[in-house]
Amino acid sequence: MYTVSSPSAGPAAGSLPRTGAQIIVDALLAHGVDTVFGYIGASVLPLFDRLYDAPIRFVVPCHEQGGCHMADAYARAGGKVGVIIATSGPGACNLVTGLATAMMDSIPLVAITGQVRTDLVGQDAFQEAPTTGITRAVTKHNSIVTDIKDLGRTIYEAFHIASTGRPGPVLIDVPADLEFQKCGGNGAIRVHLPGYKVPRNGHAKQIEEAAQAINRSERPVLLAGGGVITAGASQELRELAAKANLPVAMTLMGLGSFDQRRPESLDMPGMHGAPYANFAIQESDLLIAVGARFDDRVTGKVDTFATKAKIAHIDIDPSNISKTVRADIPIVGDARVVLAALAGCVEYRDRTQWFAQIAEWKRLYPVGYDRKAAGLKPQYVIEELYRRTDGNAVITTGVGQHQVWSGQFYKFRQPRQLITSGGLGTMGFGLPAAIGAQIARPEALVIDIDGDHSFNMTMAELSTAVQNELPVKVCILNNGYMGMVRQWQELFYRKRYAYSHLRNPDYAEFARAVGAAGLTVRSRDEVGPALEQMLRADKPCVVDFHVDATENVVPMVPAGKSLDEMEGLDVLQNAM
Amino acid sequence: MKHIISALVENKPGVLAHVAGMFAARGFNIDSLVVGRTEDPDLSRMTIVVIGDDRIVEQVRKQLARIVPVVKVQDFVGKPVVMRDLMLVSIAVLPEKRPEVFTLIEMFRGHVVDIGQKTIMVEVSGPETKIEAFIDVCRPYGIKSVARTGTIAMPRQGTGED
């Protein structure tokens, strides 16, 4: 659930004429915005001039992409709408990756971009780009404001659309001349969106049918996706699981919605998921998916996915239902409301045999690695980090092997504890995400578990952390490769490592150069002391772990195979 | 199977681009797309003909409804509807052949809207099958060019001409 304080009428609404820049600032304040990420440029000068006096914390990244990821993680970690402002042309273009990342993971962002003056639009003016055209497919909604009378309402609508239903990024493009034009207040601002409907309750008959299916089921699996966290429905999920006696699997985006330390947790299914989660889904007679969209990384080959199961699918976005996996019991509604309603109609059912089977799979195929190896294993670093942080850190990640290992070896217990680019798979997300999360939750211990190549993409933002005195921690699992790509090349491209290796900088030296602390770890013995030093640091700290370069993520469902055709199970069995 | 989808959309810039972009991004095929004003100046109607199985068309319908300025989406498949397509066609006709071509035009209740020395331009409207049939009968004379609007449709309340 995302909180937007219900907009108060702007301070000057209905009174003295205000400039467009002031209308924007007033609209932000009316929505309870206290933090904005952004980068200045010619077309947003009037707006920045007004923001300079506003009671708003302003965070300047090194690059607009970083700023957009910061605003995104600020929303993910804190449950508020993230706000990013960029200038026209290159500034707006640099937001695209960040908007697409937020779009795929349903994160509420309001992006405000400057545009060239109205009389120059369409003339290939300096720093002009067709921003709404470029970003249309990567935003939930976008528009260009052409009349100052529409400006305030458009921003109110942006907050409403971004934060309700299935959340997402909304972009408003504002030509520079509108920022200094004046407009008299015309009373209260009324949001008018005839085509925008937000489902809430779910169909009572469908909920009843799902409840009966749960009561009848001998081998059920509850699958929680990111929608459970978005809806603030973790408590309702836990109550339903307890009341009906259900095992719970979580997608990468859903991790934290259910406490992974519980025996009922099946952890994460999918391509690099836990074997017991995949086997349980394949053997289940009822799969109840909540706020999950059956991504190909979760289902494997769709034709052979959960063929023995009846599928109940709860989602707030009707287009997610029966998009890839045909739902037998579709329920369109808010996860929190629907889960609470379901919990009201289910009964406890003893499923000793089913849970014994799950326990047996867990015993046979625990998530593991070669713990006796002499070298420094990346998984060991995450296990140690988990132990030394008591499992309480907010973890952000880049994308690749380290991301999967974070999902496998850090046991999440609270929603909004894992901040990761699940859908788009955006390398470089980890560090700016850590910065955004730390701003949203100043008291939290925020750690970016990163890969060397992911870190390379946005490492300039370390100086943003230093400048803003944010004590984020970065653990780089440095194997010198784009590790996941290297793994696929090893397995599927005859070990031809085409362009997946780069010579990396000395990250500890780099960290010190920008004013952060930096450490280098080359052996297993150094891991504990280095982590302790990192956790004690009262400023940003980067630890560069030189890990085993050839370690692979196991187990694995090769692309296009069924969930139960997992490879690498022998590695897990030998690791015991 | 051919589905006629009718979408009522807000009359705002960028809506057509959004709809067309969604079709392209998701790999749906558009057979025809017509946009026009309605009785309400704030709303336009898009009539989109899509070919696909039920599953694809269900996704088309849901993805259209997801677009914020799209107000209402209807799929007319299986419902009695009136469908119309308007065509302007230029046919190569020398003066001595005009009478026989005029007879054809009359049979299809078309109108001659332009007469040149070697060509005539005809306006024909009706269901797609009628338009296609008219093209077929004119083909032997030589078709110079064709412009068609694509299909518009409205559900029937009673009975009448197909």
Closest residue by Cα to residue B122 from B130, B131, B113: B113
How far is it, in rounded angstroms, from Cα A477 to Cα A483?
10
Q: Of A146, A195, A319, which has the smallest distance from its Cβ to B68's Cβ?
A: A195
Question: Which ipTM score applies to this complex?
Answer: 0.89
How far is it, in rounded angstroms, from Cα A517 to Cα A539?
7
Number of domains in chain A: 3
Would you call A133 an interface residue with chain B, using a CB distance cutoff of 8 Å?
A: yes
In a domain, A188, yes or no: no
Q: Which helix (H) or strand (E) holds A299?
A: helix A296-299
What are the residues of chain B with a beta carbon less than 8 Å away from any beta carbon of chain A? 9-10, 12-14, 17-18, 21-22, 25, 55, 58-59, 62-63, 65-72
A549 and A499 together in one domain: yes
List of residues 6+ apart from B27 with CB closer than 8 A: none
φ, ψ of residue A497 in degrees (nearest 5): -90, 70
We report the CATH number of the domain holding residue B97 as 3.30.70.1150
In a domain, A106, yes or no: yes
Q: Assign 3-state DSSP to chain B and report helix, strand, coil percentages, each to 5.
A: 30, 40, 25
Interface residue of B10, B66, B67 to substitute, partner A, most A CBs within 10 Å: B66
Three-state secondary structure call for residue A183: strand
B101 and B139 together in one domain: yes
How far is it, in rounded angstroms, from Cα A248 to Cα B6?
41
Complete DSSP assignment for A108-149: -EEEEEEE--GGGTTS--TT---HHHHHGGGSSEEEE--SGG
Three-state secondary structure call for residue B152: strand
Question: Is the previous residue joined to A555 through a cis bond, with omega within 30 degrees of 0?
Answer: yes
Instruction: Show the domain range for A301.
Output: 204-364
**Amino acid B150: pLDDT:** 94
Burial A341-359 (b: 16+ CB within 10 A, else e): bbbebbeeeebeebeebbe
**Amino acid A570: pLDDT:** 81
- What the block records as the tokens of A194 is 């005839």
In a domain, A506, yes or no: yes
| pLDDT tens per residue, range B55-67 | 899 999 999 999 9
Tell me how close the Cα of B121 comes to any Cα of chain A, in angstroms: 37
φ, ψ of residue A47 in degrees (nearest 5): -65, -45
In a domain, B162, yes or no: no
Three-state secondary structure call for residue A453: helix
In a domain, A373, yes or no: no
In a domain, B131, yes or no: yes
Of B75, B95, B120, the position where a domain reaches its end is B75
pTM of the model: 0.94
- Do residue A137 and residue B72 have CB atoms under 8 angstroms apart? no
Answer yes or no: are the C-beta atoms of A450 and A476 closer than 8 Å: yes
How far is it, in rounded angstroms, from Cα A534 to Cα A547?
18
Strands B111-115 and B119-126: antiparallel
By CA distance, what is A198's nearest residue in B?
B66
Would you call A198 an interface residue with chain B, using a CB distance cutoff of 8 Å?
A: no
Give me the sheet containing A517-521, strands edge to edge.
A418-419, A394-397, A446-451, A473-478, A541-546, A517-521
Burial A228-253 (b: 16+ CB within 10 A, else e): bbbbbbbebbbbbbebbbbbbbbbbb
Helical pair B15-25 and B54-66, crossing angle rounded to 10 deg: 140
Of B75, B97, B128, the position where a domain reaches its end is B75
In a domain, A189, yes or no: no
Neighbour tally for A471: CB within 10 Å = 17
- Do residue A144 and residue B70 have CB atoms under 8 angstroms apart? no
- Do residue A143 and residue B17 have CB atoms under 8 angstroms apart? no
Would you call A132 an interface residue with chain B, using a CB distance cutoff of 8 Å?
A: yes
How far is it, in rounded angstroms, from Cα B161 to Cα A128?
53
B7 and B36 together in one domain: yes
In a domain, B160, yes or no: no
B23 and B87 together in one domain: no
By CA distance, what is B64's nearest residue in A?
A319
Complete DSSP assignment for A17-83: -EEHHHHHHHHHHHTT--EEEE---GGGHHHHHHHTTSS-EEE--SSHHHHHHHHHHHHHHHSB-EE
Answer yes or no: are the C-beta atoms of A248 and A264 closer than 8 Å: yes
- What the block records as the tokens of B29 is 């095929």
Answer yes or no: are the C-beta atoms of B128 and B111 closer than 8 Å: no
**Amino acid A434: pLDDT:** 98
Tell me how close the Cα of A322 comes to any Cα of chain B, in angstroms: 8
Residue type, A517: A
Residue with tokens 């891991």, as numbered in its chain:
A527
Neighbour tally for B32: CB within 10 Å = 16
A290 and A416 together in one domain: no
A338 and A433 together in one domain: no
Number of domains in chain B: 2
What ranges make up the beta strands (E) of chain B?
2-10, 30-37, 43-51, 70-75, 81-92, 111-115, 119-126, 143-148, 152-155
Tell me how close the Cα of A209 comes to any Cα of chain B, in angstroms: 23
How far is it, in rounded angstroms, from Cα B90 to Cα B83?
23
Contacts of A143 in chain B (CB under 8 A): 12, 14
B12 and B42 together in one domain: yes
Would you call A141 an interface residue with chain B, using a CB distance cutoff of 8 Å?
A: yes
How far is it, in rounded angstroms, from Cα B153 to Cα B76?
8
Tell me how close the Cα of A228 comes to any Cα of chain B, in angstroms: 20
Q: Which helix (H) or strand (E) holds A208?
A: helix A204-216
How far is it, in rounded angstroms, from Cα A506 to Cα A445?
25
Q: Which helix (H) or strand (E) holds A520?
A: strand A517-521
In a domain, A566, yes or no: no
We report the CATH number of the domain holding residue B21 as 3.30.70.260
Contacts of B25 in chain A (CB under 8 A): 137
**Amino acid A576: pLDDT:** 52
A411 and A288 together in one domain: no
By CA distance, what is B8's nearest residue in A?
A195
Would you call A153 an interface residue with chain B, using a CB distance cutoff of 8 Å?
A: no
B7 forms beta bridges with B46, B73
**Between residues 488 and 547 of chain A, which touch chain B (CB distance below 8 Å)?**
none
A275 and A393 together in one domain: no
A357 and A398 together in one domain: no
Count how many residues are written for chain B.
162
A216 and A170 together in one domain: no
Q: Of B17, B63, B72, which has the smallest distance from its Cβ to A136's Cβ?
A: B17
B62 and B101 together in one domain: no
A110 and A151 together in one domain: yes
We report the CATH number of the domain holding residue A264 as 3.40.50.1220
Three-state secondary structure call for residue A317: coil
Answer yes or no: are the C-beta atoms of A421 and A105 closer than 8 Å: yes
Three-state secondary structure call for residue B138: helix
In a domain, B94, yes or no: yes
Q: How far is CA B76 from CA A371, A485, B19, B151, in A?
A: 62, 47, 18, 12
Rounding to the nearest 10 degrees, give the CA dihedral for residues A344, A229, B18, A111: 140
**Amino acid A12: pLDDT:** 46
A35 and A162 together in one domain: yes
B87 and B146 together in one domain: yes
**Amino acid A7: pLDDT:** 72
How far is it, in rounded angstroms, from Cα A422 to Cα A322?
20
Of A150, A183, A216, the position where a domain reaches its end is A183
A132 and A257 together in one domain: no
- What the block records as the tokens of A387 is 């132990």
Of A341, A364, A387, the position where a domain reaches its end is A364
Closest residue by Cα to residue A439 from A411, A459, A405, A464: A464
Of A335, A364, A393, the position where a domain reaches its end is A364
B19 and B71 together in one domain: yes
Instruction: Show the domain range for B56.
Output: 2-75
A43 and A179 together in one domain: yes
- Do residue B17 and residue A323 have CB atoms under 8 angstroms apart? no
In tens digits, what is the pLDDT along chain A, a chain of 576 residues? 677 766 765 554 456 899 999 999 999 999 999 999 999 999 999 999 999 999 999 999 999 999 999 999 999 999 999 999 999 999 999 999 999 999 999 999 999 999 999 999 999 999 999 999 999 999 999 999 999 999 999 999 999 999 999 999 999 999 999 999 999 865 678 898 999 999 999 999 999 999 999 999 999 999 999 999 999 999 999 999 999 999 999 999 999 999 999 999 999 999 999 999 999 999 999 999 999 999 999 999 999 999 999 999 999 999 999 999 999 999 999 999 999 999 999 999 999 999 999 999 999 999 899 999 989 999 999 999 999 999 999 999 999 999 999 999 999 999 999 999 999 999 999 999 999 999 999 999 999 999 999 999 999 999 999 999 999 999 999 999 999 999 999 999 999 999 999 899 999 999 999 999 999 999 999 999 999 999 999 999 999 999 999 999 999 898 889 998 888 888 777 765
In a domain, B125, yes or no: yes
Would you call A118 an interface residue with chain B, using a CB distance cutoff of 8 Å?
A: no
**Amino acid A242: pLDDT:** 98
Cβ burial, residue A469 (10 Å; 0-12/13-18/19+): exposed
- Do residue A196 and residue B68 have CB atoms under 8 angstroms apart? yes
**Amino acid B43: pLDDT:** 97
Long-range CB pairs of A512-516, under 8 A, 24+ apart, other chains included: A514/A462, A514/A463, A514/A466, A515/A463, A515/A466, A515/A539, A515/A540, A516/A462, A516/A465, A516/A466, A516/A540, A516/A541, A516/A542
Count how many residues are written for chain A.
576
Q: Of A146, A161, A322, which has the smallest distance from its Cβ to B68's Cβ?
A: A161
Q: What is the mean pLDDT of residues B124-136?
A: 96
Strands A248-250 and A265-267: parallel
**Looking at residue A477, what DSSP letter applies?**
E
Q: Of B10, B21, B66, which has the smallest distance from its Cβ to A136's Cβ?
A: B21
Contacts of B46 in chain A (CB under 8 A): none
A158 and A26 together in one domain: yes
**Amino acid A558: pLDDT:** 87
How far is it, in rounded angstroms, from Cα A205 to Cα A208?
5
In a domain, A568, yes or no: no
Tell me how close the Cα of A323 comes to any Cα of chain B, in angstroms: 7
In a domain, B151, yes or no: yes
Closest residue by Cα to residue A406 from A519, A292, A256, A534: A256
We report the CATH number of the domain holding residue A514 as 3.40.50.970
Answer yes or no: are the C-beta atoms of A260 and A268 closer than 8 Å: no
B61 and B8 together in one domain: yes
**CB-defined contacts A:B, below 8 A:** 45
Tell me how close the Cα of A161 comes to any Cα of chain B, in angstroms: 8
B69 and B107 together in one domain: no
> Ramachandran region of residue A502, left (φ > 0), alpha (ψ -120 to 50) or beta?
beta
